[in-house]
Amino acid sequence: MAKIYPKMFFDGAIVEDKAAALSITSSAVLYGLSVYTVFPAFSDKDGNLAAFRLAEHLKRLKNSAKIMGLGNLVESWNTEDLTLAVKKLVNANAIEEDIFVRASLHVDERLPGMRSRGLNTNFSMFAYSADPILPPSGARLKTSVWRRVPDSSIPARAKVNGAYANSVLAKQEALDNGYDDCVFLDSDGHVCELSAANIFLVRDNRLITPSLTSDLLEGINRQTVIELAKTEDLKVEERQIDLTELYIADEAFAVGTSAFLAPILEIDARTVGDGKIGPLTKKLGKLHKKALKGEEPRYSDWVTVLK
């Protein structure tokens, strides 16, 4: 069960929960015309609350706004402004535990019709604590009957709120069938990602993940795992993946802000590898956790102290 902190950053100020509201006539509500990012903040080795790869998350938020033609965030806010706003949010709530922060840019223009440029926008953030979206002990996945929305229809590399109806349909279908999450395929039947996490597989000690042209989100934790693997001299392949290749993988895991690094033990009623968490998954999971918490000196620049 998620715990939502009561003070939120909304339209340039810290406000109470109920005051952070959008009109039902806004584009954000009518069309899902918002973009967002979610990033974690953990207690680091010195006991400070620190955000993981904050600059990269804020850059992606700006890029999402740019892709969708929402210029306000790009023009009006720099990274320093956004970082200061995050610190204000954390301090206003006197947060002492590990959290997530969701930052959004909403189009709050009322009844503007089918357009995005030159409209009023509202930048908001809220903090919450929640359990991982996938079981750390190992997830069971089902290939979705729903295909991933192609980048040529709604851009996959932009985190557009309205596009996540696609993920809701796919994950609910998986849950209805007794699984933890789905595997999305593209229109040609190639592997994309999960409902809200990127996917990796291991074959013959090679780490393999769908390429960025596979209708998937440019996940920050995806890139983190690739960088960690290369530092450990592991071979990494970013390429097109067939579904059947998942079936014969030695190991598989998912990675994302809300999933962390979660082992995958079953796909479509087929056991992955020997049905246990594999050695590379364990190794990368430990490295990823240390990096998240600022416990690895090599990646100290990945964390930003908030409090």
> Is residue 185 within 8 Å of residue 148, measured between CB atoms?
yes
- Residue 246 phi/psi, 5-degree rounding, is -65, -35
Closest CA to 128 of 212, 3, 7: 3
CATH 3.30.470.10 describes domain 3-129 = yes
- Residue 206 phi/psi, 5-degree rounding, is -105, 135
| Alpha-carbon distances, residue 259 vs 27, 38, 102, 133 (angstroms) | 29, 12, 15, 5
Reported residue count of the chain is 307
Q: What is the pLDDT of residue 133?
A: 96
Residue with tokens 């973009």: 35
Across the chain, which has 307 residues, the per-10-residue mean pLDDT values are 93 95 96 96 85 95 93 75 93 94 95 91 95 96 97 95 97 98 97 98 97 96 97 96 98 97 98 97 96 90 90
List, in order, residues 6 or more apart from 294 with CB less than 8 Å away: 42, 44, 45, 50, 300, 302, 303
> Is residue 160 within 8 Å of residue 37, measured between CB atoms?
no
136: exposed, middle or buried (C-beta count within 10 Å: 0-12, 13-18, 19+)?
Answer: middle
Residue with tokens 């930003």: 304
Residue spans per domain, the chain: 3-129, 139-292
Q: Tell me if domain 3-129 and domain 139-292 are identical in fold.
A: no
Q: What is the pLDDT of residue 45?
A: 73
Q: What is 139-292's CATH topology?
A: D-amino Acid Aminotransferase; Chain A, domain 2 (3.20.10)
Q: What is the pTM of this model?
A: 0.95
Closest CA to 282 of 261, 296, 260: 261
Q: What is the pLDDT of residue 114?
A: 92
Q: What is the pLDDT of residue 74?
A: 65
Residue with tokens 């590990």: 98
Q: What is the pLDDT of residue 296?
A: 85
